[in-house]
Amino acid sequence: MKWLLLLSLLALSECIVHKVPLVKKKSLRKNLIEKGLLKDYLKTHTLNRASKYFPKDVFASGSTESLENYLDTEYFGTISIGTPAQDFTVIFDTGSSNLWVPSTYCSSAACSVHNQFNPDDSSTFEATSETISITYGTGSMTGILGYDTVNVGGIEDTNQIFGLSESEPGSFLYYAPFDGILGLAYPSISASDATPVFDNMWNEGLVSQDLFSVYLSSDDESGSVVMFGGIDSSYYTGSLNWVPVSYEGYWQITVDSITMDGETIACADGCQAIVDTGTSLLAGPTSAISNIQSYIGASENSDGEMVVSCSYMYSLPNIVFTINGVQYPVPASAYILEEDGACMSGFEGMDLDTSTGELWILGDVFIRQYFTVFDRANNQLGFAAVA
């Protein structure tokens, strides 16, 4: 299932949120199957993670970047860099903190099939002598840092530092349907201490509130957005429930327990989790995930994917994440993923130990169910059931 794993914006006006939608192409899984690479890919790649480590509901002014829902596996939008503008599709990733795109300095095959930033064509580009290197479970990049104007959803973010890739080894980024990544996590995990895009927007006064919010559509539908500086209550029902950030690196929180039919099936003594738009699945320690796969009747097929009988989707119970005392049920229709007549588990085993212990990842499977506010001002996350 690691094919599922991968892997802003301002027009400041009173009480208006400008919205920008996301895009679709052939799935990474299909590309890898056609090339005979899926099984090896699943064996050798892990999660798309970087190796570094409002108290009230409002409809606030801000700017919205539209995202394309790519087969419920990735969500990406279009930004531009430079003067005149050069366009790139990027994953808006709350699990990392750097912005980078392919460049004309890059000699890797992955760059040859994606848009490449040409600094010579931008009158506002400023070079540096600094280098950058980022390792994701499903790919890596190395390159140099530069400054230029970045336009995200109508926000003109001037003097933004970003990475220009010189190398993108491996197959994952070659087949990826997006060009680069725009990280939205905390500055503390930013490679080369580069200022993240959202931090630069806030520092330049381009957003009216120090927060952004995310709605991810389901079933390949359009309408997914990331809103910078605002919350739009039309995307959710009820009230937002607020959860304090437990560690300011990733968007990390404490989960009380994970249950099914009232029985604790994981995280019995509490656990740490990150809320990550750049990961497609629900991921956790391999032993715990193995137990969950057994509970839902998942077994490994010849391609290394955890498959489930599609009929189970109508009989399996919710899996409930209790967070800060509030229950967040995820139904079987969300954690069992269907494509081309096959059904696969939306859970993925991986062991990621940090200074705060093992981490779970609440990826797109969870976020599709819950509109999420990432509140930097108060270091908290807000969740509400999607409308």
* Positions marked active-site: 93, 276
Question: Encoding tokens for residue 271?
Answer: 């656990």
For 289-302, give the DSSP string: HHHHHHHTT-EE-T
Are 224 and 68 in contact by the 8 Å Cβ rule? The answer is: yes
> Looking at residue 71, what DSSP letter applies?
T
User: In the chain, what is the greatest distance between 2 CA atoms, to the nearest angstrom?
Assistant: 61
Question: CA 145, CA 141: separation in Å to the nearest integer?
Answer: 12
Q: 41: helix, coil or strand?
A: helix
For residue 218, count other CB atoms closer than 10 A to its CB. 16
Question: CA 86, CA 164: separation in Å to the nearest integer?
Answer: 13
Are 281 and 1 in contact by the 8 Å Cβ rule? The answer is: yes
Q: Which residue, among 277, 369, 274, 283, has the nearest Cα to 7 in the 3D structure? A: 277
Question: CA 286, CA 293: separation in Å to the nearest integer?
Answer: 10
Give the burial string for 306-328 (b: 16+ CB within 10 Å, else e). bbbeeeebeebebbbbbbbeeeb
For 75-142, give the DSSP string: EEEEEEETTTTEEEEEEEETT---EEEEBTT--SHHHHTS--B-GGG-TT-EEEEEEEEEEETTEEEE
Contacts of 64 (CB under 8 A, 6+ apart): 9, 17, 18, 19, 20, 153, 225, 226, 227, 228, 230, 232
Question: CA 151, CA 73: separation in Å to the nearest integer?
Answer: 25
Sign of CA dihedral 239, 241, 242, 245: negative
Q: What's the one-letter identity of residue 139?
A: G
